[in-house]
Amino acid sequence: MLTEPMTPRGYDELLREFKYLKDVEKPKVNQEKQRAAELGDRSENAEYHAAKEKLRHIDKRLFYLNSMIEKAQIIDPSQLNHSRVHFGSTITISSDGDDDVTYSICGTLESEPENALISVHSPLARAMLGKEEGDEFSVLLPGGKKHYEVGIISYIDIFSLKKNHRNEINFGFH
């Protein structure tokens, strides 16, 4: 089984979403479905069908979250030596003719590519892993093969960089 690296806080948030969906959202939607079923003819009952659809979405999400929990490999990047690129590293890279770009490598559920938080499974992150400052590497991207040089490697807590913080309001299916 493949592992899914994530930070301790990422794991805690994964568990929080799983528990919320299982213990709060699913029972609530089950009650909605039951109330709608009591209204009579289910074949023409839009509320009943909407509740069933919500339950399907919740069950799919619970299945996915459960698989992520089972595969979780909790890594505290603050405890790693960032002289080489590791999970949790923040890396500035340069390419001929382009501006320097900074990325942080994180877990799949923690990633926000639009905010330079890239999944450890992304082609760019995989190409950078193990590199040191000054190392050069190439990566095949959708736009073609690109050549980069590793500039600065550091550690910055990814949750201080995240812009999309999920909470109970985002967990449900409305």
10 with 28, same domain: the answer is: yes
29 with 14, same domain: the answer is: yes
Strand partners for 89: 155
Distance CA 149, CA 81 (A): 20
Q: What is the pLDDT of residues 12-54, one digit of tens each?
A: 999 999 999 999 999 999 998 888 888 776 677 788 888 899 9
Predicted model pTM? 0.85
Distance CA 119, CA 123 (A): 9
Does residue 15 form part of some domain?
yes
124 with 91, same domain: the answer is: yes
Domain with 98, as residue range(s), is 77-156
| Residue scoring higher pLDDT (35 or 85) | 85
85 with 133, same domain: the answer is: yes
Are 123 and 141 in contact, with CB atoms under 8 Å apart?
A: yes
Q: What is the pLDDT of residues 105-126, one digit of tens each?
A: 999 999 999 999 999 999 999 9
Contacts of 7 (CB under 8 A, 6+ apart): 74, 75, 76, 77, 88, 106, 107, 110, 158, 159
Residue 151 belongs to a domain with what CATH number? 3.10.50.30
Number of helices (H), then strands (E), belonging to the chain: the values are 6, 7
113 with 60, same domain: the answer is: no
Tell me how far the alpha carbon of residue 92 is from its chain's centroid: 21
Beta strand pairing call for 117-119 and 136-141: unpaired
Residue whose entry in the numeric block shows the structure tokens 């390419």: 95
Strand partners for 139: 146
Q: How many structural domains compose the chain?
A: 2
Residue 10 belongs to a domain with what CATH number? 1.10.287.180
Are 57 and 51 in contact, with CB atoms under 8 Å apart?
A: no
130 with 97, same domain: the answer is: yes
End-to-end CA distance of the chain: 34
